Amino acid sequence: MPIYEYVCRDCKEHFEVLTTSAETSITVKCPKCQSLQVAKTISTSNFRIGSGKASIPSGALSGCSSKSGFS
């Protein structure tokens, strides 16, 4: 189940929406102001592929850092 990140163009609220793979076109509203003027944002991955398995690197969930999972 993918999680998509959005930003509201009206109130600048950042929020996430959890969807099922069957939901291809859903209407997304800002949870703060109920605006439909939202845009998907680009987010970084919280895992990396290496050594034959996926792992979560230390510091990956703390924002941008040299340990963000990108090599």
- Are 33 and 59 in a shared domain? no
Same domain flag for 36 and 60:
no
Q: In this structure, are 34 and 54 located in the same domain?
A: no
- My answer on whether 35 and 54 are in the same domain is no
Q: What is the DSSP letter of 61?
A: G
Q: Is residue 8 domain-shared with residue 36, that is, in the same domain?
A: yes
Q: Could you give the CA distance from residue 49 to residue 27 in angstroms, rounded to a whole number?
A: 32
* Structural domain range at position 58: 47-71
Which residues are registered as beta bridge partners of 48? 55
Count of domains observed in the chain: 2
Shared domain check, 55 and 27:
no
- 32 with 53, same domain: the answer is no
Tokens 């076109």 sit on residue: 25
Would you state the pLDDT for residue 38? 96
This prediction has a pTM of 0.56
Write the pLDDT tens digit of every residue in 36-70: 999 998 876 666 666 655 555 555 555 555 554 55
- Please, which pLDDT band fits residue 7 given cuts at 50, 70 and 90? very high
The closest alpha carbon to 46, from 25, 67, 68, belongs to: 68
Q: pLDDT tens for residues 8-44?
A: 999 999 999 988 777 677 899 999 999 999 999 887 6
Residue of 65, 46, 64 lying closest to 55 (CA atoms): 46
